[in-house]
Amino acid sequence: MKIFTAEQIRQGDRYTIENEPVSSIHLMERAAHSCVKWITDNCKNHRNFAIFCGNGNNGGDGLAIARMLYLKGFDIDVFVNPKLKFSKDAAENFRELKELSGIMIRNLSEAENYRFDKRTIIIDALFGTGLSGEVEGDFKDLIEILNRKPNVKISIDMPSGLFPDIISTEASSVLKSDYTLSFQFWKKSFLHPETGKYTGKVKILNIDLSEEYIAQTDTKNFVTDEEMIKTIFKPREDFSHKGTYGKACIIGGSYGKMGAAVLSTLAALKTGSGLTFTVAPKCGYEIIQTSCPEAMFIESGTEHVHQFESDDQSVYGIGPGLGTHAETEKNVLQFLKDYTRPLVLDADALNIISNDKKNLKTIPKKSIITPHPKEFERLFGPSENSFERVELARRKAEELDIHIVLKDHHTQVVTPEGNVFYNITGNSGLAKGGSGDILTGILTSLLAQGYSEEQAAVFGVWLHGTAAERAAEKYSKESMLPTDVINEIGNVFKALNDKVEIDL
């Protein structure tokens, strides 16, 4: 799914109105109807709604929602400032609303003394994407009042006070929602930790904006969704053999850290590589052979990895549990200087590279690196916030001709062409040691099977997150283990195969 800026979305509205054709007021009705359907489907235990409306088109959405909910039998109080000038469509919806005698219309200033029943849902339709500057004055006070209320809060299109494309300052007043009902597209600010914390659960509602406009409008920001994954996924061929699916080789492990290599190896196996090897020190021989009998062991060193040879037929994933012993560092850097094919670098491999900025140039072109924010900072320097970090990642991915998987709540895959794919699968259950090692194994396996570097990164991150969602459903985010995530990879593939067959 494409991520558009607020201006591109406004242009999409105009294009739809001019070419469908549909009037702007009917497009607003369409948006309001999609919200009401979601609300009535998901808020069955609530009868009362306090709807806060601005005077622009987002307020117009709120006024239309109020009318539709009232006609479905809900109790509605609308808060608005009728003294301010309405947009054309908002004015039309306000006129229609006033004709319904059963809806109480209150001034926004009444919010502070209004008695919110515990079953009342607050609907925020104050600003949407139309905010031109930080919220000030009475609106700032109103948002702070609503944030203090324990009621469920639903924002229409986006939380009021939040900007769609840029970061808000720490002093900004932003409504903290439980749900955000966003029209047609994700907004960039939903996907970053500093701003996404205000959205609650994001629900994307289709309002049938012009498919032609969406297809022909360029962007460099995307959300990885299931439709995209189905275009990447390659179902396994019946007439194939182990050689068809490549050789994945995990280089990792050291005394006391063999578990990381085990997790990465198991993930590579579960993801489907034809042959899987583990290069590890002698101390890990029995551990690997017992935990991963399907993998082949290549000894390198006694307690930490020493010299290892490259095989042009293998795809390498380097880093899990590797350690940073001087001998290991020397041989990893020499391997990178001699090896020219794309590979996967994580964990201690990145720590070794970060010791000297000159080492960055030894990363083979088109490779995939998977830093978390601190590792990224050690490699490329500090950033003021996650928005700036993504822009720095764009520059470095282009400069080094590599793919950067920037791990976060919504992990970003940044390509050498400057495209950014935001992943929306996964959960905080992955905030455990070993989760990154699994991702390394998945990515290495997909590369070995012939997926392009971009495909492997996008698909691999999605697969990792989706398996984690299934693990959390079974064991909870608190108790799920990295091994539980590995064990769910097969179920994700099964579901994906079923969906691809249905589409055919």
**pLDDT attached to residue 307:** 85
**pLDDT attached to residue 44:** 85
For 70-122, the pLDDT digits (tens) are: 999 999 999 999 988 999 999 999 999 999 989 999 999 999 999 898 889 99
Rounded CA-CA distance 452/72 in Å is: 51
For 369-392, the pLDDT digits (tens) are: 999 999 999 999 999 999 999 999
DSSP assignments along 306-363, one per residue = ------TTEEEEE-TT----HHHHHHHHHHHHH--S--EE-HHHHHHHTT-GGGGGGS
- Which pLDDT band, with edges at 50, 70 and 90, does 503 fall under? low
What domains lie within the chain, and their CATH numbers? 6-219 (3.40.50.10260), 230-469 (3.40.1190.20)
Contact 352, 332 (CB under 8 A): yes
- Is it the case that residue 340 has pLDDT exceeding 80? yes
Cis-peptide, bond into residue 373, ω within 30° of zero: no
For 268-320, the pLDDT digits (tens) are: 999 999 999 999 999 999 999 999 999 999 999 999 999 888 888 999 999 99
Please give, one letter per residue, the 3-state secondary structure of 449-477.
Answer: CCCCHHHHHHHHHHHHHHHHHHHHHHHCC
For 397-455, the pLDDT digits (tens) are: 999 999 999 999 999 999 999 999 999 999 999 999 999 999 999 999 999 999 999 99
pLDDT > 90 fraction of the chain, expressed in percent and rounded: 89
For 209-247, the pLDDT digits (tens) are: 999 999 999 999 999 999 999 999 999 998 889 989 999
Rounded CA-CA distance 332/319 in Å is: 9
- Is it the case that residue 502 has pLDDT exceeding 80? no
Measured in whole angstroms, the distance separating CA 67 from the mean position of its chain's CA atoms is: 34
75-80 sheet: strands from edge to edge: 104-107, 75-80, 48-53, 120-125, 153-156, 179-183, 201-205
